[in-house]
Structure 1
Amino acid sequence: MTRTAAVVGGGIGGLTAAIGLLAAGWQVTVYERGQTLPTTGTGLGIWPSALHALDSLGIGAAVRAAGLPQGNGAIRRPDGRPIVALDMDRIRARHGEPVHLVPRPALLRVLHGALPAGTVHFGVPVDDVTALRAGHDVVIGADGIGSRVRTTLFGQRYGLRYTGATAWRGTADIDIDSGGETWGTGARFGVTPQGPGQTNWYAVLTVPENHRLTRPDADELRHRFGHWHDPIPAVLDRYATSDVIRHDLYHLAPALPTYVRGNVALLGDAAHAMTPDLGQGACQAIIDGAALARCLAGGGVEAGLRAYDRERRRPTRRMAAASLIVNRLAQVRRWHSARDLTMRLALTFGPPA
């Protein structure tokens, strides 16, 4: 008898899980609130561990082809002096390949294209999973950082906490030689190449939650970052032609005691929303989705869900905690020398891969 799964959320983790379950012989329906796949979005760093998970689903090569390898970079001070190198050659030597930079829309197109037509039902929000739980063997909550499935299962205690910072993300029509971040006082700016003539950028400021700026966003960012080292001023000069997204940064706290309740499993940001400071949100969602499908491919549903929770809860909690530590370090307003030394020591042991 064919087993059935309903996936709430057609983002990176939900689509990955759907691909794996369909390959294992499940009947899968994905419910996505949005009307269609997004056409805009900045680049994502897909680390080797996530690429290997995609390889297990047969789509790793397509994802690599949709992006480009990330080159070496650095974390710098506003005047351009390096704090610590970001050594992609070291990652390549350890894992056989570097991080790949893939635009979010391109990644989602690859994932969606690996599913049979009609698997994803766009424009269908799911606010109550009760009916889905009764009608399917498994329900997967992949509905993102503001997950309603998570709230249904665990209530308001496990909610989003403001990190103290807000971010702007965009792309600029400019070439850069290498990427990295620049850390100031309660402020950061990052750039990564996306392709010929295209650069991803993001800016982060320490401000109160829901803060209203006294000047337009573009003017505020030029005021805060326009005197920093190249290519930051040139990137901001192209603000008007960027598709800029602004949002406050949140993480999930306290951590969930389990990612499974009954026949419902959470994955990705719904399970462990973390700050973006290690660039691991998309990667962990991919690994979650592949692991969940693998755990459910063989034996019974209950045993498979327990195995998924055992496999993924602890490593994702550690990753979320480490990301939050970096967030705190990057946003400090003093003790910069101690912060810089801490980062150099941390990267000595190698970044997550």
Structure 2
Amino acid sequence: MRQHAVVIGGGIGGLTAAVALHQQGRRVTVLERAASLAPVGAGIGLAPNAQRALDVIGLGDRVRELAAWQGDGGMRTPSGRWLCRTDAAAAAERFGGPLVLLHRAVLVDLLRAALPDDAVRTGVTASVADPGDGRRPARVALGADGRELEADLVVAADGIHSGVRRGLFPDHPGPAYSGYTTWRLVVPAPGRPFAPHETWGRGGLWGTQPLKDGRIYAYAMAAAPAGARAPDDERAELLRRFGDWHDPIPEVLAGAAPEAVLRHDVHHLITPLPAFHRGRVALLGDAAHAMQPTLGQGGNQAVEDAVVLAHHVAAGPSPDRALAAYTADRLPRTTALVRKADRTGRLAMLSSRPAVAVRDALVAAVSRLGPGLVLRGFEGIADWSPPTAAYAADREAGPAETGTADVRRRRSTP
């Protein structure tokens, strides 16, 4: 009988894990609480590290085909002055590929299409009734009617406020409010060309990035009390905060419908978990290591988790040893990134004029010394490679033709 893996949560990390486990021959069941897999979100940037993980399951080339490849851009001040310029070709050379951007729905659709039709169940509330151990399977409860599924492996990808995490680690303090809130929107592109940019001001930042379909993905972040909401609508709030910033920000906001603006407070697991597993249950993505969006790595790390988890359960002699190896592999890396994202957030959200002036001067000075110093902050992040050298899209070519170096060479050319 085929081993059964149950994935709780149908987001990007959960679906990537499901595809990776399905490709290993496991029977996979994805349980999603929402009525559909249509993601509540906007764009997602996939750095070379996540693309290499998607190459493992044969979807990297398709993602790069459908995504916009980020061009030259940089960081600006609210007045429009460039603090630093980024060189997309230099970044691709350094990290083995470009940063690409696509709508989350496109990525979800690609992942869903790689699974059997009956693998995904929506509108299902799931919890772990028994995490199992090396001798007995885990049990997953469905809703409140007493139905259960047995599983050789449970992947908990149920988000920042994970119920599975609370059950496995009841003494952990859980996610903390970072002090910041975010807005995201996808709107028609402005009438005039613009360079991709992220703009840092006093207590707030704004980013404008193009999508391949002619629209743009814009995002903003600002310091705010937890739970605060606009007295009228969130588009009006963005206009109050960012409406006098440089072009194309006012034009972007003018083209946004109020209902198209998404707002979410930023919570993160600044206190790391003791482990990413218990029994036969593995935590993944935001459920394991929710981080601020300031490095653009939240979804990327969930994709990494998925292929690393699949690698260890395929290679591990027993579930307990396989999941212990997964924890050992992922917990130090993601803990460091949660902390780095927090430091970056505090730097971006500086609000006093003297502190902002010093920050901007330092960024400009580093930029003048060359793009290498600017890119150095992503060393150890974007240059990560998965623990397996065989890429699903290339397996027929044979081991001699499927090494990471060859994949990087092919990816460096648009």
TM-score normalised by length of structure 2: 0.81
Cα 1:136/1:342, change in 2 over 3 Å: farther
Show CA shifts across 1:161-215 (max 9, x none): 1111111110111144321211111111111001343111112221111114344
Show CA shifts across 1:106-153 (max 9, x none): 000001111111111111111444388232111111111111111111
**Equivalent position of 1:151 in the other structure:** 166
- What are the equivalent positions in structure 2 for 1:104-183 lying under 5 Å apart? 104-130=104-130, 133-134=138-139, 135-155=150-170, 157-175=172-190, 176-183=193-200
In the alignment of these two chains, the number of paired residues is 353
Task: Judge conservation of contact 2:22–2:28 (CA < 8 Å) in 1.
Answer: yes
Task: Judge conservation of contact 1:172–1:241 (CA < 8 Å) in 2.
Answer: no
- What are the equivalent positions in structure 2 for 1:236-251 lying under 5 Å apart? 236-240=253-257, 243-251=260-268
**Equivalent position of 2:397 in the other structure:** none
**Equivalent position of 1:36 in the other structure:** 36
> What residue identity is the alignment partner of 1:162?
Y
1:267 matched to 2:307? The reply is: no
Q: Distance in 2 between matches of 1:157 and 1:267?
A: 16
**Equivalent position of 1:79 in the other structure:** 79
Q: Which runs of 5+ in 1 are unaligned?
A: none
Cα 1:287/1:343, change in 2 over 3 Å: farther
Task: Judge conservation of contact 1:162–1:249 (CA < 8 Å) in 2.
Answer: yes
Cα 1:230/1:259, change in 2 over 3 Å: same
Task: Judge conservation of contact 1:70–1:99 (CA < 8 Å) in 2.
Answer: yes
- Per mean C-alpha deviation after superposition, the further-off stretch among 335-344 and 26-35 is 335-344
> What residue identity is the alignment partner of 1:279?
G
Counterpart secondary structure, 1:254: coil
Show CA shifts across 1:219-255 (max 9, x none): 2221221111000000011122762211111111311
Task: Judge conservation of contact 1:40–1:243 (CA < 8 Å) in 2.
Answer: no
**1:3 Cα shift?**
1.7
**Equivalent position of 1:100 in the other structure:** 100
Q: Distance in 2 between matches of 1:258 and 1:207?
A: 31
1:281 matched to 2:305? The reply is: no
**Equivalent position of 1:318 in the other structure:** 336
* Higher-Rg member (1/2): 2
1:337 matched to 2:352? The reply is: no
**Equivalent position of 2:144 in the other structure:** none
Q: Distance in 2 between matches of 1:51 and 1:64?
A: 8
**Equivalent position of 1:27 in the other structure:** 27
TM-score normalised by length of structure 1: 0.94
**Equivalent position of 1:210 in the other structure:** 227
Q: Distance in 1 between matches of 2:258 and 2:327?
A: 44
Q: Distance in 1 between matches of 2:257 and 2:203?
A: 24
> What residue identity is the alignment partner of 1:310?
A
What is the root-mean-square deviation in Å for CA atoms of aligned residues?
1.9
**1:342 Cα shift?**
5.3
Counterpart secondary structure, 2:269: strand
Counterpart secondary structure, 1:349: helix
Counterpart secondary structure, 2:189: coil
> What residue identity is the alignment partner of 2:166?
T
Counterpart secondary structure, 1:45: strand
Counterpart secondary structure, 2:347: helix
Task: Judge conservation of contact 2:234–2:258 (CA < 8 Å) in 1.
Answer: no
Q: Distance in 1 between matches of 2:172 and 2:40?
A: 33
Cα 1:64/1:75, change in 2 over 3 Å: same
Task: Judge conservation of contact 2:11–2:39 (CA < 8 Å) in 1.
Answer: no
- Per mean C-alpha deviation after superposition, the further-off stretch among 63-72 and 132-141 is 132-141
**1:302 Cα shift?**
1.7
State, as a whole percentage, how many aligned pairs show the same letter: 40
> What residue identity is the alignment partner of 2:157?
A
Cα 1:25/1:348, change in 2 over 3 Å: closer
Show CA shifts across 1:3-56 (max 9, x none): 221110111111111111111121211101111121663111101111111111
**1:267 Cα shift?**
0.7
- Per mean C-alpha deviation after superposition, the further-off stretch among 35-44 and 118-127 is 35-44
- Per mean C-alpha deviation after superposition, the further-off stretch among 292-301 and 258-267 is 292-301
**1:289 Cα shift?**
0.3
Residue from 351, 364, 374 that aligns with 1:347? 374
Task: Judge conservation of contact 2:175–2:267 (CA < 8 Å) in 1.
Answer: yes
Task: Judge conservation of contact 1:170–1:242 (CA < 8 Å) in 2.
Answer: no
**Equivalent position of 2:208 in the other structure:** 191
Cα 1:102/1:179, change in 2 over 3 Å: same
